[in-house]
């Protein structure tokens, strides 16, 4: 049986980003429960964003705007396939299921990931919810998924090992890679892996993450490195996405409670800009509150300001860490 890479420790993670993630979670916990309307807005936003990006990584042709119309308005997009539409509605439904299922000490097992796969591929694959019984290959990858007879033993080993990983973020990262590595289904493995990883995060009080289609090549590159035994590049990649997601939740809290001041980034004082709006800065970044703007995922960027509801994240230096 193939050997499985030993999970890395938290000490191996990028120290600045890891410290910020831990501090952001403490800050988020200190302000729970978040306002219900803020949580609902973030949940609805992340449902659309995760669905779009997770599907687009796998080749779905719906744009972000079209995905939003399909999910929120029930509109059929002309010129787009039935499969594209089913992938959108199925993935969004599975995202909702994961959000609602999350709870402390939730154990991931065969039944859970098979049900997740069935939801994602319902009406698309005849084998929805069932492990593959034939050999598959991943286009453009060196890694050859294990033979069908090895799927259950490999996943058994992963399911037994994951609870022993004390740090929830590492559990999520390891689960993500294990599912992608074993590739237990004929199709939909990446979507299952990303949602299962988010389930692990949500169960540990972290927000879900969105891996963007614009980062697809890096995502595949780091998965390949993990396949070869080096989990750190993939772990660092996921950790930065988690950093962004935590920042989004904290920013939404700031918008929902404008009279309060608390550090958006732990250890970074909050000050007020010329208009009296709170502003925090760190590593050349600046938080700005804007009255209008499309809903978008808050993220670090060198070239653009991206908004979550009415919150923009505006770079002020070209040396921002990635």
CATH code assigned at 27: 1.10.3290.10
Q: Is 290 among the domain residues?
A: no
Beta strands across the sheet bearing 306-308: 270-272, 278-282, 285-289, 311-315, 306-308
Q: Is residue 287 part of a domain?
A: no
318: in domain: no
Least trusted range by pLDDT, from 194-198, 280-284, 302-306: 302-306
Does 299 fall in a domain?
no
Proportion of the chain above pLDDT 70, given as a percent? 77
Q: Which helix (H) or strand (E) holds 217?
A: helix 216-227
pLDDT 10s digits, 118-148: 999 999 999 999 999 999 888 877 888 999 9
d(CA 37, CA 43): 10
Overall domain count for the chain: 1
Give the pLDDT score at 321: 32
Gap between the Cα atoms of 293 and 144, Å rounded: 45
**12, β-bridge pairs:** none
Q: Which domain holds residue 99?
A: 10-248
Instruction: Establish if 257 belongs to a structural domain.
Output: no
In a domain, 89, yes or no: yes
Residue 286 placed within a domain: no
Domain annotation covers residue 240: yes
């Amino acid at each position: 049986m193939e050997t499985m890479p030993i999970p890395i420790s938290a000490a191996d993670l990028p120290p600045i980003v890891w410290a910020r993630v831990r501090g952001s979670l403490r800050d988020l916990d200190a302000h729970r429960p978040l306002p219900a309307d803020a949580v609902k807005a973030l949940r609805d936003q992340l449902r659309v964003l995760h669905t779009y990006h997770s599907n687009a990584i796998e080749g779905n042709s719906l744009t972000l705007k079209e995905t939003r119309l399909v999910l929120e308005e029930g509109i059929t997009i002309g010129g787009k396939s039935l499969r594209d539409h089913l992938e959108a509605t199925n993935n969004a439904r599975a995202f909702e299921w994961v959000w609602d299922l999350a709870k402390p000490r939730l154990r991931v097992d065969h039944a859970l990931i098979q049900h997740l796969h069935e939801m994602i591929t319902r009406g698309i694959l005849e084998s929805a919810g069932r492990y593959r019984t034939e050999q598959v290959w991943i286009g453009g990858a060196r890694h050859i998924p294990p033979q069908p007879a090895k799927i259950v033993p490999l996943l058994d080993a992963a399911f037994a090992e994951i609870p022993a990983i004390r740090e929830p973020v590492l559990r999520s990262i390891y689960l993500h890679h294990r599912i992608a590595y074993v590739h237990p289904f004929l199709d939909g493995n990446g979507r299952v892996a990303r949602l299962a990883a988010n389930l692990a995060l949500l169960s540990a009080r972290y927000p879900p993450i969105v891996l963007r289609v614009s980062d697809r090549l890096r995502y595949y590159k780091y998965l390949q490195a993990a396949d070869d035994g080096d989990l750190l590049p993939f772990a660092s990649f996921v950790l930065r996405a988690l950093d962004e997601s935590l920042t989004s939740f904290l920013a939404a809290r700031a918008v929902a409670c404008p009279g309060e001041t608390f550090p958006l980034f732990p250890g970074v004082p909050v000050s007020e800009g010329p208009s009296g709006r709170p502003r925090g800065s760190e590593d050349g970044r600046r938080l700005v509150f804007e009255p209008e703007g499309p809903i978008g995922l808050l993220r670090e960027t060198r070239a653009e300001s991206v908004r979550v509801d009415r919150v923009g994240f505006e770079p002020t230096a070209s040396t921002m860490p990635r």
